[in-house]
Amino acid sequence: MMLTAQSRSTALSSEIQHVLKVRAPEIITGGRRKLMSKRSTSQVKAVIQSGNNKKTTNLVEKLVSSGKSGNLDVRAVITLRKKMKEKITDKIEDQWESFMNGIGRGILIQLISEDIDPVTKSGKIAESYVRGWLSKPSDHPYIVEYAANFRVPRDFGRPGAIIITNFLDKEIHLVQIVVHNFNEGPIFFSANTWIHSRKDNPESRIIFQNQAYLPSETPPGIKDLRREDLLIIRGTGKGERKLHERIYDYDVYNDLGNPDKSEDLARPLIGGKERPYPRRCRTGRSPTKTDPLAESRIEKPHPVYVPRDETFEEIKQNTFSAGRLKALLHNLVPLIAATLSSSDIPFTNFSDIDKLYNDGFELNDDEHSQKNKFLSDTLDKVFSVSKRLLKYEIPAIIKRDRFAWLRDNEFARQALAGVNPVNIELLREFPIVSKLDPAVYGPPDSAITRDLIEQELNGLTVEEAIEDKRLFILDYHDMLLPFIGKMNNLPGRKAYASRTLLFHTSRGVLKPIIVELSLPPTPSSPRNKRIFTHGHDSTSHWIWNLAKAHVCSNDAGIHQLVNHWLRTHACMEPYIIATHRHLSSMHPIYKLLHPHMRYTLEINALARQSLINGGGVIEACFSPGRYSMEISSAAYKSMWRFDMEALPSDLIRRGMAVEDPSMPLGVKLVIEDYPYAADGLLIWSAIKEYVESYVEHYYSEPNSVTSDVELQGWWNEIKSKGHPDKKDEPWWPKLVTKEDLSGILTIMIWIASGQHAAINFGQYPFGGYVPNRPTLMRKLIPREDDPSYENFILHPEFTFLASLPTQLQATKVMAVQDTLSTHSADEEYLHQVHELQRFSVNDHEVLRISERFCAKLEEVEHTINQRNKDNRLKNRSGAGIPPYELLLPTSGPGVTCRGIPNSISI
């Protein structure tokens, strides 16, 4: 039967109402927001109400046809992670979360197609709430799964992004979303991110699928989302950051002091023309009342802001907290002694030090009853657990040979295979001359003379030894002398600026031959320098050991403030900030760098709060004291260059390697038995090969590097905002070719992984025994005309120990070094890159590249193990010598003195 025009109109109207109610929001969509989806429905209504029957008929037929031709029933599985340790309130919140999701009012999921909707000119959208009365338990006790069901038209296209709106009252940790029933098979959206509650921020979160796209290749339906997500991450540069936010921005180090608390805790701003420095992550706190240029501090236990996903996960937090508890317990006995006696106490004999490892400390009831109110709660907690909690593990350096630290060859060996193997240099010129202003710092020539050197060279002249590349130097003179006068005015600090000359013998062993210790010039002593050599009588032997201890103190300070903090932690921070601000999470370079950025901003924030701050552990326990960060800034100004952070370039700069095209990396070591360099070059080579293959995969087309707008913005911002005090230096690499890009990325990944591992995880194994590596010295070396000289002659051991850190200072440092040397149970190591890439990149070629990298690292580990068994390599094998394992890629948890994490995570 033929329908009349009116009946046809009525039928159409009925069908229209059905489609508008059920199907239109799914078929003709309005882009990203629910509001825009409603606007598209309104557009359909407007077409109908316009009276244009032809247009109305076409539109309705399109909708009806789509509905009748079949739809896809799509299911999204949402994986969330719960807390490991839940309080009662957490459990109640979990039940509420389950209820809200059950009634479909907890989490809104919107699928965004890679295809453009022709009406809205943006990605097609389908939405659904997570539903289900109870979450589905998984095999993992802390993982739960929910589901969201969608009905989408068959021409919806492939989902390229998901928008999540969290209507719950608390944030959730989203592990991943897997979308099923599309023709391509399951589509993965790896997240591992915190999703804030809408009550904290009405903005929804964008999660992109596990597919890497260069900016120019971004599917049209998600191009706008890519730009919008980056804009959100950058923020406005204004206001105080809140803990739930994920805003990445830059600031100077203006939060280290606390002038409102005490004038003694005021510290100068670090970063700027006067004191240049890399930038940190901006927190935006209000200025102090005392100094408008200083940012107010947040003290422990309150957290310092870092973007939400940069914070420690729970396993890591528990490991770090356990370390902090250990630090408290280890410091407890000296703290009690200091509190009750109003003075700190030195070690009086070596047995005092041995007790830290053998017996620990035990407080008896009398001591317990004498505790003051300030310590009452802490002691109660300790004694409720055990009386023997204050015991340290025996450090590796004395575990095999308790007297190794005394020997000259061990002192020299640690310059090549210790925790700070990056300061030794080849001596290339003689005489040794300072670059400091002679009008201020006295005559520039060193007091180390030709005659003194040649007495130790077994018949060689200085010129012959230099030509044969057998003289080396540890030179801290110019870096420290400008600060020595101020440092020595601090209570309990006495330091020199040191130079140490070492000779590489014909037997292939390095030995120290001369130590020069300098003080600032005075009117009566314009050349205020002292020379020490290893003697052959008891007096000169003890004096020589005191001189070496002063060198170790210099070395410990420069290691911590320059090589460890500045060159790895602080310099990596702006690379991470720029990566988030300019490279979309879809960008292949973001995906490459992402494993190497984990936890770094959090550990740096904790360092600003407790370690490098005014009155923090570094100032309290290292020679530079309150001038620590000023020394770090001076080193950045005088010697830091991005291009020289490449391992081969650094070795050549220090004269420890020479260019040799016949060698695999174009360099040949001057000392073959240089464990840090030999093993480091293996790791460097593996990273370089991996990065080059990865970059070639994505940037094979001509001009693809220069045309990548995100990449160019990233590199420009690293220089202009991350390192603005050096932005105009000519040595910054260009970013024009894929070779340029590979070189830049290799440096960054090396710094975050191998370089940091080599100078971090040996801190307790080498520094845990105070005489081996004192972090400060409290007395100058006695002269014969000093009143203290007679006491030195009578009690040389006491004089030596009294010059070292006090028991309180030593145990503080040991506790911190123990924590910093500890791998957490959730550590992600360099050899696990393949597994991490599987979850973030849907590209078989990238997975093959990652597999080859991991296989290469297995070869490296085998090679290092074989080297450690080679008795010809005296710096890594022999009686009492611990093997050099700091650059072995793998490790278990704990203090292992081995293992290369992907990132600076501690």
Task: Tell me the domain boundaries of the chain.
Answer: 71-234, 248-366+382-397+565-768+806-905, 398-555
Q: Extract the tokens encoding 518.
A: 């300098």
Q: Taking phi first (over 0 means left), then psi (-120 to 50 degrees means alpha), and beta for anything else, what does residue 334 get?
A: alpha
Bridge partners (DSSP) listed for residue 512: 502
Report, as an integer, the average pLDDT of 217-224.
97
- Catalytic site residue from 760, 772, 875, 902: 760
Q: Can you give the pLDDT at residue 17?
A: 43
State how far the Cα of 282 lies from the Cα of 284, in Å rounded to an integer.
Answer: 6
Q: Can you give the pLDDT at residue 103?
A: 52
| Higher local confidence (pLDDT), 5 or 815 | 815
- pLDDT over 60 at 24, yes or no: no
Q: What angle do CA 411, 416, 419 make, to 5 degrees?
A: 80
- pLDDT over 50 at 310, yes or no: yes
On the CB side of 475, CA atoms within 13 Å amount to 15
- 142-159 tens-digit pLDDT: 888 889 999 999 999 999
Q: Are 747 and 547 in contact (CB under 8 A)?
A: no
Q: Can you give the pLDDT at residue 352?
A: 87
Q: Can you give the pLDDT at residue 815?
A: 85
Q: Can you give the pLDDT at residue 93?
A: 65
State the chain's mean pLDDT as an integer. 87
Q: Can you give the pLDDT at residue 559?
A: 98
Instruction: Identify whether 772 is a catalytic site residue.
Output: no
- Catalytic site residue from 504, 723, 756, 823: 756
Report, as an integer, the average pLDDT of 463-473.
98
Q: Can you give the pLDDT at residue 101?
A: 60
Q: Can you give the pLDDT at residue 70?
A: 73
Report, as an integer, the average pLDDT of 93-103.
61
Write phi, then psi, for 121 (nearest 5 degrees): 60, 25
Report, as an integer, the average pLDDT of 119-138.
78
Transcribe 416-475 into DSSP letters: HHSS-TTS-EE--SSS-B--S-HHHH---B-S--HHHHHTTTTT--HHHHHHTT-EEEEE
Q: Can you give the pLDDT at residue 385?
A: 36
Q: Which CATH superfamily is domain 71-234 in?
A: PLAT/LH2 domain (2.60.60.20)
Task: Fold for 248-366+382-397+565-768+806-905, please state it.
Answer: Lipoxygenase-1; domain 5 (1.20.245)
Helix (H) or strand (E) holding 176: strand 172-180
Instruction: Identify whether 760 is a catalytic site residue.
Output: yes
- 497-536 tens-digit pLDDT: 999 999 999 999 999 999 999 999 999 888 899 999 988 8
Q: Can you give the pLDDT at residue 25?
A: 38
Strands 159-166 and 894-895: unpaired
Q: Can you give the pLDDT at residue 92?
A: 60
Identical fold at 71-234 and 248-366+382-397+565-768+806-905?
no
- pLDDT over 90 at 342, yes or no: no
In sequence order, which ranges of 718-762 are alpha helices (DSSP H)? Answer: 738-750, 756-760
List the one residue out of 717, 632, 733 whose CA is nearest residue 277: 632
- 243-260 tens-digit pLDDT: 999 999 999 999 999 999
- Catalytic site residue from 550, 569, 580, 831: 569
Q: Can you give the pLDDT at residue 335?
A: 53
- In the sheet that 497-504 helps form, which strands lie side by side, from edge to edge? 425-426, 471-475, 497-504, 510-518, 529-532
Strand segments, DSSP code E, in 181-232 are 187-195, 205-208
- pLDDT over 90 at 12, yes or no: no
State how far the Cα of 685 lies from the Cα of 749, in Å rounded to an integer.
Answer: 12
Q: Can you give the pLDDT at residue 83?
A: 77
- 784-842 tens-digit pLDDT: 999 999 999 999 999 999 999 998 888 889 888 998 999 988 899 999 988 888 878 88
Q: Extract the tokens encoding 294.
A: 């200083």
- 871-883 tens-digit pLDDT: 999 999 999 999 9
Q: Which CATH number fits domain 398-555: 3.30.70.330, 3.10.450.60, 3.40.50.2300, 3.40.109.10?
A: 3.10.450.60
- Catalytic site residue from 564, 594, 596, 723: 564
Transcribe 78-104 into DSSP letters: EEEE--SS--HHHHHHHHHHHHHHHTT
Instruction: Identify whether 331 is a catalytic site residue.
Output: no
User: 87: pLDDT confidence band, cut at 50, 70 and 90?
Assistant: low
- 625-682 tens-digit pLDDT: 999 999 999 999 999 999 999 999 999 999 999 999 999 889 999 999 999 999 999 9
State how far the Cα of 170 lies from the Cα of 117, in Å rounded to an integer.
Answer: 34
Q: Can you give the pLDDT at residue 367?
A: 39
Q: Can you give the pLDDT at residue 67?
A: 45
Please state, for a pLDDT cut of 90, what percent of the chain lies above it: 73
| Higher local confidence (pLDDT), 106 or 54 | 106
Q: Extract the tokens encoding 677.
A: 């360099």
pTM (predicted TM-score): 0.88
User: 330: pLDDT confidence band, cut at 50, 70 and 90?
Assistant: low
SS (H, E, C) 875-893: CCCCCCCCCCCCCCCCCCC
